[in-house]
A and B are shown apart, each in its own frame.
Chain A
């Protein structure tokens, strides 16, 4: 078990956003979390990534309680994330963005007078990841000038550069054109295999993507787990189809 959440409750004042959510993620799994708006997905992500502490219950990553530990400590422990709204460094090039992630991972950020250009390990790793994500041609393009799909890839690629053990992707294909969605996912899954990622968790609205790539799907509804099963089982579950997926479920 890499990541485990037990009986998570999260209150915002009188509102109970999560009401006893338990889940676990095992080695080698690709787990998708789905649910309609207001089901508690965003809150769940914030708890799983240590942004917010749970009101009750706990989240354990590699056996360690990570409730509310914050993004910096989480990245050091080996969990990376990407964001629903694409997060990039507009003024930095693709390569600089990836170099920053390598610098952070190697703990070299406090080298005040060292030459970044002269750091071969940082340079090589950044180039390697750029190639892995098909961004090598645009290595010297400023992130602000990239097409939307590439911005999304860069956001994810920089998270991968941390060489995390587990990655949490918040809607990895939102804002990406339908034609490019599978391209993004294929690159992502391929890269995950290359760097030896131990598990992927994604929150996704696009059911095509969810059913095509997941080993397991967790459906949330009104702050509770409605179902937690393999895609085939989820597809056959009338309640999930009705409440979460909607009538136009892919066949």
Chain B
């Protein structure tokens, strides 16, 4: 099997990177790992359940703001507490939002999730006292494993302890998601993705399972969102803006939604592509638009689809 070998090499590269690469590239890996967690969750909904959410920035925002509120307002600095708190906050919001959204499919589901995302964005923007409005809030440096890492300057903290903490979170999130998609629950989600009518006739309650998948993906998005904030030290409403939701969907498409590791590849490619294109070309959105068009038309399986010799992905046409 090639997969375990590739995986072991990727893991080894990630672990030794801070020792060999310049800090700039190491810090670029931080958003990759944060988005990696977000995308694992998003793909449970997208690739495994067949629902495309255009409002996942809502949960990324919830995660990031949970961290900011805890560190600046409530004096809670432990990342080990911030992550579960972010997950809990997302679950509390996702429960009613998801219950409503999963009654709809396709574009209606996408638009409804987008609408809820925009509601939260407006909330962040308008409730200055609580959220800092368009300036956002500071995210203070969280403590890791009980230590403040006081002797480390910001870069040393990020490329050292925070980097490895992120690796551990991503590894755990990947392992748990792998268990989820390989479980009886994961199989039920795939039946819903492929044919909801048939799934129901086999006794699989379609709305209930979609709701579970929505909740799990929201929790993942919030944990990823909470990981995203410390490197920038600031959270602002654009985290919850709909274009951010679009970006994460783009990352999933870029990597390939029909493969388990596709979203991780997509997050990695997106971060480094964005960095490269932005440094040489001012119109990076133009390039990304072209890439997106190319993927949808020529490589619907994304990057993973290009590498792996798998069945072609069927994209619905009118």
- Residue among B187, B195, B199, B209 facing the most chain A CB atoms (10 A cut-off): B187
Chain B CB within 8 A of A159 CB: yes
Given contacts A113-B180, A116-B182, contact A159 B201 (CB under 8 A): yes
* A162 adjacent to B183 (CB under 8 Å): no
Looking at chain B's contact residues, the main secondary structure is: helix
- Residue among B180, B187, B203 facing the most chain A CB atoms (10 A cut-off): B203
Q: Give the residues from 65 to 112 in chain A that come closer than 8 angstroms, CB to CB, to chain B.
A: 70-72, 75-76, 80-81, 83, 87-92, 96-97, 99-101, 103-105, 108-112
CB-based nearest A residue for B209: A109
Q: Give the residues from 166 to 193 in chain B that come closer than 8 angstroms, CB to CB, to chain A.
A: 176, 179-180, 182-188, 190-191, 193
- Residue among B186, B195, B201 facing the most chain A CB atoms (10 A cut-off): B201
* A72 adjacent to B184 (CB under 8 Å): no
Q: Which residues of B are found within 8 Å of A104, using beta-carbon distances?
A: 188, 202-204
- Residue among A114, A117, A162 facing the most chain B CB atoms (10 A cut-off): A114
Given contacts A89-B195, A91-B193, A92-B190, contact A71 B184 (CB under 8 A): no
Chain A CB within 8 A of B274 CB: no
Shortest distance between the CB of A214 and any CB in chain B (Å): 23
* Cross-interface CB contact of B183 among A81, A114, A159, cutoff 8 Å: A114
> How far is B243's CA from A158's CA once the two chains are assembled, in angstroms?
42
* Cross-interface CB contact of A113 among B176, B187, B205, cutoff 8 Å: B176
> How far is B180's CA from A112's CA once the two chains are assembled, in angstroms?
5
* A90 adjacent to B203 (CB under 8 Å): no
Chain B CB within 8 A of A115 CB: yes
> How far is B154's CA from A247's CA once the two chains are assembled, in angstroms?
89
Chain A CB within 8 A of B197 CB: yes
Q: Which residues of B are found within 8 Å of A101, using beta-carbon distances?
A: 202-203
Q: Give the residues from 188 to 218 in chain B that come closer than 8 angstroms, CB to CB, to chain A.
A: 188, 190-191, 193-195, 197-205, 209, 212
CB-based nearest A residue for B314: A90
* A109 adjacent to B188 (CB under 8 Å): yes
* B202 adjacent to A100 (CB under 8 Å): yes
CB-based nearest B residue for A109: B188
Q: Which residues of B are found within 8 Å of A116, using beta-carbon distances?
A: 182-184, 186-187
> How far is B266's CA from A54's CA once the two chains are assembled, in angstroms?
51
* A112 adjacent to B185 (CB under 8 Å): yes
Q: Which residues of A are found within 8 Å of B191, using beta-carbon distances?
A: 89, 92, 97, 100
> How far is B205's CA from A75's CA once the two chains are assembled, in angstroms?
11
CB-based nearest A residue for B198: A87
* B203 adjacent to A89 (CB under 8 Å): no
Q: Give the residues from 142 to 169 in chain A that come closer than 8 angstroms, CB to CB, to chain B.
A: 142, 155, 158-159, 161-162
Interface size class of chain B, counting residues whose CB lies under 8 Å from the partner chain: 20 to 34
* A100 adjacent to B187 (CB under 8 Å): yes
- Residue among A70, A99, A100, A101 facing the most chain B CB atoms (10 A cut-off): A100
Shortest distance between the CB of A48 and any CB in chain B (Å): 13
CB-based nearest B residue for A80: B201
> How far is B184's CA from A117's CA once the two chains are assembled, in angstroms?
9
Q: Which residues of B are found within 8 Å of A109, using beta-carbon distances?
A: 184-185, 188, 204, 209
Shortest distance between the CB of A251 and any CB in chain B (Å): 37
* B185 adjacent to A75 (CB under 8 Å): no
Q: Which residues of B are found within 8 Å of A155, using beta-carbon distances?
A: 198
Q: Which residues of A are found within 8 Å of B182, using beta-carbon distances?
A: 115-117
Given contacts A81-B201, A87-B201, A104-B202, contact A110 B190 (CB under 8 A): no
* B188 adjacent to A103 (CB under 8 Å): yes
Q: Which residues of B are found within 8 Å of A108, using beta-carbon distances?
A: 184
* A89 adjacent to B183 (CB under 8 Å): no
Q: Which residues of A are found within 8 Å of B187, using beta-carbon distances?
A: 92, 96, 99-100, 103, 116
CB-based nearest A residue for B212: A110
- Residue among B182, B186, B198, B311 facing the most chain A CB atoms (10 A cut-off): B198
> How far is B200's CA from A105's CA once the two chains are assembled, in angstroms?
12
* A111 adjacent to B190 (CB under 8 Å): no
Q: Which residues of A are found within 8 Å of B209, using beta-carbon distances?
A: 109
> How far is B182's CA from A110's CA once the two chains are assembled, in angstroms?
12
* A111 adjacent to B203 (CB under 8 Å): no
25 residue pairs A–B, Cβ–Cβ below 8 Å: A71-B203, A72-B203, A72-B205, A75-B203, A87-B201, A88-B198, A90-B194, A91-B190, A92-B190, A97-B191, A100-B188, A100-B190, A101-B203, A104-B203, A105-B203, A110-B185, A111-B184, A112-B180, A113-B176, A113-B180, A113-B183, A116-B182, A116-B186, A116-B187, A159-B201
**Nearest 10 interchain pairs by C-beta:** A75-B203, A89-B194, A87-B198, A104-B203, A103-B184, A71-B200, A109-B188, A113-B179, A108-B184, A100-B191
Q: Which residues of B contact A (CB under 8 A)?
A: 176, 179-180, 182-188, 190-191, 193-195, 197-205, 209, 212, 311
Q: Which residues of A contact B (CB under 8 A)?
A: 70-72, 75-76, 80-81, 83, 87-92, 96-97, 99-101, 103-105, 108-117, 119, 122, 142, 155, 158-159, 161-162
Q: 5 additional contacts, CB 8 Å, given A88-B194, A89-B199, A104-B203? A: A72-B203, A89-B195, A115-B179, A155-B198, A162-B203
